[in-house]
Structure 1
């Protein structure tokens, strides 16, 4: 195998020489921002793949995957996706971060779905975190 390697400083009489160089693999994502946020929301919701999310929510896999790949606009389906992944529709469509009511509402819904003992445990955890955070601030 060593005799097949072209040594750059060696004199070559051929008109055609092969350049042995390095190829750098660059990750480039040219999908629309909506598609990127949709994937981000899916992953944050704990779904490893688009197929897993489509199966769980009974969506057409082909349509959902086209939305996530950016091959189709998702404005008509944004509300459904936002509700499923517990993000705001505005964030999914525009990237707005100040529309916290949808996130707050989703958290409240999750909290209310817990039994009373678990709700009390979550409340105690939140209080201890708030106390720890206030102790850190000088």
Structure 2
């Protein structure tokens, strides 16, 4: 990507981090921190490159790792992983509630755990068996189930049809899950 244009992934993560920190609009954040509204909006939309130094400022302000903000790479420590999973995966409007749920000691199930739960509820004892049964590439499916690759809307739809669960639930934990007789778990 050229230095002139930004990064839509980083922009989306920046927006999610802002909402998670309690700023419902970009205008509220720019006013609180005295940032240029136009520059911030361009960074958040991904239409303008965000310099590494400014990315560090945003990361520190919104209490997220700068590497995650820049690349979407999750940290390896469990402490930050659940929080970032909520910020990255939950529907924007649900981020504050999901973080409060997490802070009250209720675990959050990230995409890969929801996919595993759906597979097990579908009667498959392993990722290999499910992939073979449905004709999916085992390496691709396993990467989704172990959290290495995130689900897209298309893959969530594919898996939701196979397991009889909600694609939205697989993507972001929105209830109801569609699981019969099982706790939805966020």
Question: Higher helix proportion, which one?
Answer: 2
Taking structure 1 as the reference length, the TM-score comes to 0.49
Q: Give me the TM-score of the superposition, normalised by structure 2.
A: 0.37
Structure showing greater radius of gyration is 1
